[in-house]
Amino acid sequence: MRYFDFDDSKYGFPLAMDAHRFEDNTDLIFEAGPHTINFFEIMFFEQGSGVAYTNEKRIELCPGTILFASPNQIKQCDFDKNGVKGFHLIFKPEFLESFFQDKTLVYKLPYFYNYSFAPYIVAMGVDFELFKSMLSEIVFEIGAFRSDSPNMIRALLASILLRLDRLFRAFHHIANESTNNNLLTRFKMLLEEHVNSNLNCNQYASLLKIHRNELNRQIKAYTGHSPITLLQHRKIQEIKQRLLLDEQSIAQIAFELHFSDPNNLSRFFKKLTGLSPSAYKQKMQNDSFS
């Protein structure tokens, strides 16, 4: 499986984000086989057709589609490159941290580290035109880079992300304001921080200084899923990535993820995916999510 690493020096100066039009580099953007990334990615489709898979969720492409991907998610693109038009936006979280003074921002946005909703929206009319305008400004600033360009780009990117937050919540019928949001943000952060551990829900509740029953109630109210479901989803994602990207044996993965033995990992994996780890690996080596 191919791994895309962010290159923050491609322009000859450090820049922890990038943006360009699809038309300029379709071969790089639309990787046909399963792959993963170590940055945040948003694709804005003004024109085009095809299918995208993110963590094996199938998304049919249409004009106005906006796709989201987070680090370490397994992706695949099956797009018709002829006639595709739009923008590709990628960034590392540190690019925005100094602007917002908030290291939790990407966890607060519902479309990143998203375990509950299909990672896309469809934006039409004025909304999409506004994104096109702001993205065109970012592309211009990168091409005519000056000393104040980073702050200009950060401001534009921040506006895009916050507008997408509103649209994503409306598209997926997520409450705009929720007392559970801060808890969900911290829970998502802990899932990423402790992905290699074997913490259970009682231990996560302890880290969050909340009773397990209250953790279950609030997370389920906000996402529609229990904490254990989200925990299992993240663990499966990690196993899949290690199987495909790192070429690790099941025994190695079981040891590093603190399963008691490889058979326990295999049973856990098959229960949640319907496939054994080896069968899943063979399927994905054939470049197939179907």
Whether the Cβ atoms of residue 265 and residue 277 lie closer than 8 Å to each other: yes
Distance of alpha carbon 229 from alpha carbon 239, whole angstroms: 15
Q: What was the pLDDT predicted at 179? A: 40
CA torsion, ordered 216, 218, 222, 224, to nearest 10 deg: 30
Q: Which H/E stretch holds residue 143?
A: helix 125-143
Q: Which of 39, 83, 46 is nearest to 63 (CA)?
A: 46
Report residue 42 as tokens.
């948003």
**Interval 243-288: pLDDT, tens:** 887 677 899 999 999 999 999 999 999 999 999 999 998 888 776 5
Block residue for tokens 């009682």:
202
- 106's CB contacts (< 8 A; 6+ apart) are 40, 70, 93, 96, 112, 113
**Exposure on the CB side of residue 230, measured as CA atoms within 13 A:** 25
> How many other C-beta atoms are found inside a 10 Å radius of the C-beta of residue 12?
7
Residue 180 pLDDT: 44
Give the residue among 106, 110, 123, 119 at the shortest CA–CA distance from 40. Answer: 106
pLDDT tens digits, 203-238? 999 999 999 999 999 898 888 889 999 999 999 989
Q: Which of 257, 264, 276, 191 is nearest to 225 (CA)?
A: 191
Q: What is the pLDDT of residues 183-192, one digit of tens each?
A: 889 999 999 9
Query: What tokens were used for 197?
Result: 């551990």
